[in-house]
Structures are given as C-alpha cells and as structure tokens.
Amino acid sequence: MSLTTLSITQPDDWHLHLRDGEALKTTVAHSARVFARAIVMPNLKPPVTTVAQALSYRQRIVSCIPKGSTFDPLMTLYLTEQLNSQEVQRAHEADCVQGIKFYPAGATTNSESGVAELECVYPALEKMAEVGLPLLIHGEVTDTEIDIFDRERVFIETILEPLTQKFPKLKIVLEHITTKDAVDFVSRQGKNIAATITPHHLLLNRNDLLAGGVRPHFYCLPILKRNIHQRALIEAATSGNSKFFLGTDSAPHSIETKETSCGCAGIYSAHAALELYTEVFEAEGALDKLEGFASFFGADFYNLPRNQTQITLSKTPFTVPKEYSFGSGSVIPMRANESISWSAYEATK
C-alpha cells in the first residue's frame, strides 16, 4: 500500500534567493510556509559584502515574515576580492551569518563582483577554515571557450580539487550540483565537503528545456544537463548519504526578464519546493529518506540544531497558480497551471 500522509521534522532550505524590496512579500511568505530556516543568497545589486549589510538585509526580510511564523533567515556574505580576514572574523561572531558565497566573476545572475583571481582571497579562506565558516560555491568556470554543459565538471577539476587540497579543513558546500561528476567528487571527499540539490535538477533535464521549443522558465544556472546526470542526482538525493541535502536555489525573475531575447537564469520553486521534492522521493520508493535530506543533513553540516516542529505531507493534489505577484510585476512559478501530487502543511501541535 502506498503512503498517503507523511509527517517529517520541519525542513530547511540551504540555498535560497529571496531578492529585496516589494518582492520579499511574496518570496518570504512562500518559504516561511514550510521551511524553518533558509540560507539566503547575497547576490543583490549591489551585493551583500559586509556583516552590517547582511544584518540590515536580514531586517528587511524579517519585516516580511507572516505573523505566527518563526522563519529564521540565515545570512551569507558575497565573496569579493576585497573581503579581508577581519570581516570573516566578524561574520563568524555574528550569530546570523552562516556562510560566504563564492561566485566566479560572471558565472551567473548578479555575479559581476565575484572573484576572478582566487589567490586574492586566500587570507579570507584561511580564516574561514580556522573559524569553521563554510564556503558556499557556485561551481562553474566562466571561460567562454568551455562548453556551457561542461562548466561544472571543468570547475571541479581545475578549481575545486586544487582548492580542497590547499585548504583541507575548509568547510565547503558545492551548491546546486547538476552532474554525475559532482556527485562522484563530493562522495569521495571528507565530511567537510557537502552539496545541495535543487528540485528542478531532480525533476528536469535538458530535453525539458530545449526539445520541442525553448522554455525560458526552465533556464537556470548551472544549466539543466542530460538525463544520465539527472539520474545520478536522484540517486544521490535519495540515497540517505548525509553529504547531499536540500537547497532549492529558488531564484525568481519577473516574466519580462525571462521571456525576452536574452533571458535571465533562475527557476522559481519556493511556492511548492517540499512538495516537488516529495514527488521525486515517492517515484524512487524512497519516502523514508526524505526527512534526512530535507530536515537533518543540512543542519548537521552547519552545526545547527535540528528543528523540533513537524510538517505533514498529504497526497492531495493541488494546482499551482499561473503566476504570483513579484514586486511591481509577476513571476511564473515551477509547474505553473499544472498539478503537484502532494500538499504540505504544518502539523497540528
């Protein structure tokens, strides 16, 4: 008999873009509906590069948390070549800063201020390794010579592998992994190296993006890969291996910036992320592995307590709206106008 309801410890989202301003009203409410905490990405314009900026961004987020929710946004700093070890020390001492995000310059949305020469940030990385502050990595090279489908693998070989050898104690999260190469690399490493996996990289592959027409709302970075990679990600996520945990990379953009001749990268999934992951685990016959992936392994990696509250999932389908308001415009969510087979709600205490 197949399961029709399931209660798990409340999950956290270990990689999330909330944006800023009016958009926060939509994004924060969606994440806070199900997730207890989220690691909030710092790629605003301009980026969040200091502890003071992170605290003020956190206040803007907190002011949009719906009444009754105890959602706790965990902040990150954006690694620039100017980040010094004193600021790393301050980040370590600030309770609500949990990581530093490394974007190779030019790799993705709002990454112009990212790092071009990794040597410039060695003092900051040394300090991070010393105090145990994780480095969160967008793992793609930016060389125009390298094929977009190979950028994660080449990053692992040419940048990440040497980095882990130079800083063997540094805690690293390879974010939103998309390839079998990344699964294999992370699996081989010590317990200081982990990875997040998104719902869209589990549910979609590059055929969904490109076959039978281009679907701009499935364009994200790292780009969707071929199905053998999707398969490797599904196996890693549902394996019970604590190196792999939930990070949605929910990354909203307004319709006009997606449906245009040069569209932005990012898929919005915060409205239904847990339900989408649940579909994947159900299809694999691995619902018993969902709680570890969604609610335990990330907290354990970040040395934070596991949540005490519960979330109930019931096999009740619901139809996703065709769009949500997003600042002065709207955003097309994942599964827009289509059905999701699970619904999540807070368990009654």
**How would you class 314 by CB atoms within 10 Å of its CB: exposed for 0-12, middle for 13-18, buried for 19 or more?**
middle
**Site map for ligand NCD, 53-92, x if CB under 6 A?**
----------------------------------------
The contacts of residue 348 (CB under 8 Å, 6+ apart) are none
Does 196 interact with ligand NCD (rule: CB under 6 A)? no
Does 225 interact with ligand NCD (rule: CB under 6 A)? no
What is the C-alpha separation between 151 and 321, in angstroms, rounded? 34
Q: Which does 179 bind (CB under 5 to 8 A by kind): ligand NCD, Zn ion, none?
A: none
Does 13 interact with Zn ion (rule: CB under 5 A)? no
H or E element that contains 37: strand 37-40
Q: Which does 109 bind (CB under 5 to 8 A by kind): ligand NCD, Zn ion, none?
A: ligand NCD
What is the C-alpha separation between 67 and 69, in angstroms, rounded? 6
Nearest distance in Å: CB 41, Zn ion: 5
User: Cβ closer to ligand NCD: 142 or 316?
Assistant: 142
Does 332 interact with ligand NCD (rule: CB under 6 A)? no
What is the C-alpha separation between 109 and 265, in angstroms, rounded? 7
Q: Which does 266 bind (CB under 5 to 8 A by kind): Zn ion, ligand NCD, none?
A: ligand NCD
What is the C-alpha separation between 194 and 164, in angstroms, rounded? 12
Cis, bond preceding 305 (omega within 30 deg of 0): no
Does 138 interact with ligand NCD (rule: CB under 6 A)? yes
User: Cβ closer to Zn ion: 152 or 249?
Assistant: 249
Q: Please give the structure tokens belonging to residue 121.
A: 């940030």
20 is an active site residue: no
Does 186 interact with ligand NCD (rule: CB under 6 A)? no
Does 291 interact with Zn ion (rule: CB under 5 A)? no
User: How many amino acids of this chain bind Zn ion (CB under 5 A)?
Assistant: 1
Q: Please give the structure tokens belonging to residue 81.
A: 């070549």
Candidates 55, 94, 255, 265; binder of ligand NCD (CB under 6 A) is: 265
What is the C-alpha separation between 4 and 136, in angstroms, rounded? 36
The one catalytic residue in 12, 13, 181, 249 is: 249
Nearest distance in Å: CB 138, ligand NCD: 5
Binding residues among 236-275 for Zn ion as defined by CB under 5 A: 249
Binding residues among 242-261 for ligand NCD as defined by CB under 6 A: 249, 251
Does 47 interact with ligand NCD (rule: CB under 6 A)? no
What is the C-alpha separation between 308 and 60, in angstroms, rounded? 26
Does 178 interact with ligand NCD (rule: CB under 6 A)? no
User: How many amino acids of this chain bind ligand NCD (CB under 6 A)?
Assistant: 11
Termini Cα distance of the chain: 27
Q: Which does 114 bind (CB under 5 to 8 A by kind): ligand NCD, Zn ion, none?
A: none
- Say if CB 208 and CB 218 are below 8 A apart: yes
Q: How many CA atoms lie within 13 A of 286 on its CB side?
A: 20
**How would you class 70 by CB atoms within 10 Å of its CB: exposed for 0-12, middle for 13-18, buried for 19 or more?**
exposed
- Say if CB 64 and CB 57 are below 8 A apart: no
Q: By CB under 6 A, name the binding residues for ligand NCD.
A: 17, 43, 108-109, 138, 220-221, 249, 251, 265-266
Q: By CB under 5 A, name the binding residues for Zn ion.
A: 249
